Structure 1
Amino acid sequence: MLLSELGGKEIVNLNDGGRLGMIADSDVIIDINTGKIISLLLPDKRVQFKLFGEKEEIEIPWNSIKKIGDDMIIVEIEDY
């Protein structure tokens, strides 16, 4: 599957069914030595304004992706 084919898919957390965002809004962290995807960075929609020490993004490790379907990507992350 090409990265461009993932663009329109929504990311959903398996643990609580929460919608985390669209893959098109994310950044991809790639290991420059192997070319493998390490994680996805999504903007955190819960942060309305930034306070000291708050994260502005959600990092989803690539190994947390459980299923890539036609319309969505199912991930399993804790502490969201």
Structure 2
Amino acid sequence: MTLYELCQRDVICISTGANLGKVDDLSFDENTACIENLVLYGRLKLFGLLGREEDTLIPWKDIRKIGSDVILVETKTIVPVRKKKFLFMI
């Protein structure tokens, strides 16, 4: 399976049945090169003009099944990640 194929799948929380979104990225441990988290980017605010909501990290150990069209996760530790804000000088 490639990262592209993984990003085509919806992430579904088993306990609530909520669709958390699609996988946008993965985070790796620098020392062991093991996958640590699935990263789901936050939703756009006002068509992206006001930025995005916080990203969500889902620990790799919380994945229960990767199916042909969904990824089932059982997690209570959905961690929002604050993005760094950049100031642009014009």
Q: Same fold (TM over 0.5)?
A: yes
Q: How many residues align?
A: 72
- Residue in structure 1 matched with residue 9 of structure 2 by the alignment: 9
What is the identity percentage for the equivalent residue pairs of Structure 1 and Structure 2? 36
Q: Which has the higher contact order (CA 8 A, sep 6+)?
A: 1
C-alpha RMSD over aligned residues: 2.2
Task: Name the TM-score, length of structure 1 as normaliser.
Answer: 0.74
Task: Name the TM-score, length of structure 2 as normaliser.
Answer: 0.67
**Alignment gaps of 5+ in structure 1:** 50-54
Counterpart residue type for residue 13 of structure 2? N
Q: Secondary structure at the match of 1:6?
A: helix
The runs of at least 4 aligned residues of structure 1 exceeding 2 Å deviation read 1-5
Tell whether 2:87 aligns with 1:76: no
- 2:58·2:77 contact (CA, 8 Å) conserved in 1? no
